[in-house]
Amino acid sequence: MQRIIPTLLASTLLASPALANDLREAALDMFKPLPSTVPAVADNPITPAKIELGKMLYFDPRLSASGVFSCYSCHNLATGGDDNLETSIGHGWQKGPRNAPTVLNSVLNEAQFWDGRAADLAEQAKGPIQAGVEMANTPANVVATLNSMPGYVAAFDSAFDGGDAVSFDNMAKAIEAFEATLLTPAPFDAWLNGNDAALSEVELAGLELFMDKGCASCHSGVNVGGHGYYPFGLIEKPGSDVLPEGDKGRFAVTETADDEYVFRASPLRNIAETAPYFHSGKVWDLKVAVQIMAESQLGEELTDGEADQIVAFLGALSGPVPAVSVPALPAETGTTPRPTAEILPQ
């Protein structure tokens, strides 16, 4: 692990412009500030009409079989883009298998879900809508629902060219377009962009430790994670309270023994707002999560002060959610499929 600046000096000397610039240069080798514009997305040109439609869909509980859950339910923009539950509660009060990741900045993740099984947000969006323990719906029922409301048909027609604009694929693309707008520039971005005053001394010390101890080996890039897959317990496997044996992570995707208990390194933006932590959602305290990571992934026993500094740095990864006004959704019509709370066998 490279040592950027001798740790003992860091906390007193980072105020010095020269050393701050050294740290910034090293940081810019590992991280990238958020872009100031909505990122381009493969095969999905992002337009205002598509964003607006995507916002409607994101907020619409009628995408679920029961009429109870929308994307927003588990990826709540008021609470850090997730639901603050160990694992989400969905159709029939069933619990999902893994903690809901934040939607914020997720467009910049290399792949989606804890095991990276969806290549992009459009593919991701189709998952929970169909999962029996989440929204429990079917593509055919979603399309029938959307087609039953002239307001939706018009919104699809204006967002997508060509006939048959209302489709499950286009629904997913519109949701992806809206989600791509959910970037949250944070103090860390301002600092990366050259504003020395954006991070406090303790946050800078935490950043330095974060790079120095090796956290940034996995949690790097624009989302400080969100790319690359690593075994949870690289050095020391955490207990089954944190790493339940039944969930073998990416193994389920690749069926390769090497991928047992392998998960995508979490993106860490807004991590301070998105407790509880890990795919199991079993740890509520960010400091404890940092300590578990240091031990299990790096074989490092952090001092209390070190853990506090890293937590302070992680706090500087939180930025405000863009203003999102609640959309006005079209009313059901006589042909809209009725909601059902029934739990059907999968």
* Single residue of 8, 18, 42, 328 touching a second copy by CB under 8 A: 328
Q: Which is nearer to a second copy, 99 or 297 (CB)?
A: 99
> Residues with catalytic annotation?
134
- State the CB neighbour count (10 A cutoff) for residue 197: 8
CA dist 340 and 346 (Å) reads 15
Q: How far is the CB of 270 from a second copy (least distance, A)?
A: 9
* Single residue of 97, 185, 244, 327 touching a second copy by CB under 8 A: 327
Identify residues 89-108 at the interface with a second copy (CB under 8 A). Answer: 89, 92-93, 95
* Single residue of 246, 323, 345, 346 touching a second copy by CB under 8 A: 323
Kindly calculate the radius of gyration of the chain based on its CA atoms and give it in whole angstroms. Answer: 21
Identify residues 293-322 at the interface with a second copy (CB under 8 A). Answer: 320-321
Q: How far is the CB of 22 from a second copy (least distance, A)?
A: 32
Q: Which is nearer to a second copy, 7 or 76 (CB)?
A: 76
Torsion, CA 303, CA 307, CA 310, CA 312, rounded to 10: -120
**Token pair belonging to 335:** 């042909």
HSE-CB at 130 with a 13 A cutoff on CA atoms is 11
| Position 181 contacts a second copy (CB under 8 A) | no
Q: How far is the CB of 217 from a second copy (least distance, A)?
A: 27
Q: Which is nearer to a second copy, 28 or 344 (CB)?
A: 344
* Single residue of 11, 47, 76, 193 touching a second copy by CB under 8 A: 76
CA dist 326 and 323 (Å) reads 10
* Single residue of 7, 11, 84, 158 touching a second copy by CB under 8 A: 84
From residue 204, give the alpha-carbon distance in Å to each of 15, 30, 318. Answer: 9, 15, 15
The residues with which 283 forms a beta bridge, in sequence order, are 277
> In sequence order, what are the residues at sequence separation of 6 or more whose Cβ sits closer than 8 angstroms to the Cβ of residue 8?
none
Which region among 25-33, 208-216, 241-249, 330-338 touches a second copy (by CB under 8 A)? 330-338
- The conformation of residue 332, written as its DSSP 8-state character, comes to P
Nearest to 219 by CA among 272, 270, 188, 265: 265
Nearest to 129 by CA among 161, 174, 165, 162: 174
Q: Which amino acid appears at position 302 of this protein?
A: L
| Residue that is written with structure tokens 């598509």 in the block | 50
Q: Are strands 229-231 and 89-90 parallel, antiparallel or unpaired?
A: unpaired
Nearest to 314 by CA among 127, 186, 228, 194: 186
The residues with which 294 forms a beta bridge, in sequence order, are none
| Position 275 contacts a second copy (CB under 8 A) | yes
Identify residues 195-254 at the interface with a second copy (CB under 8 A). Answer: none
| Position 278 contacts a second copy (CB under 8 A) | no
Q: Which is nearer to a second copy, 112 or 318 (CB)?
A: 318
> In sequence order, what are the residues at sequence separation of 6 or more whose Cβ sits closer than 8 angstroms to the Cβ of residue 49?
155, 158, 159
Counting residues that bind a second copy (by CB under 8 A) gives: 41
Binding mask 132-161 for a second copy (x = CB under 8 A): ------------------------------
* Single residue of 5, 14, 53, 67 touching a second copy by CB under 8 A: 67
Q: Which is nearer to a second copy, 95 or 237 (CB)?
A: 95
The residues with which 249 forms a beta bridge, in sequence order, are 262
* Single residue of 73, 106, 145, 148 touching a second copy by CB under 8 A: 73
Q: How far is the CB of 178 from a second copy (least distance, A)?
A: 13
| Position 66 contacts a second copy (CB under 8 A) | yes
Q: How far is the CB of 333 from a second copy (least distance, A)?
A: 9
Residue numbers at the binding site for a second copy (CB under 8 A): 56, 59-62, 66-68, 73, 76-80, 83-85, 89, 92-93, 95, 272-273, 275, 284-285, 320-321, 323-329, 331-332, 334, 338-339, 341
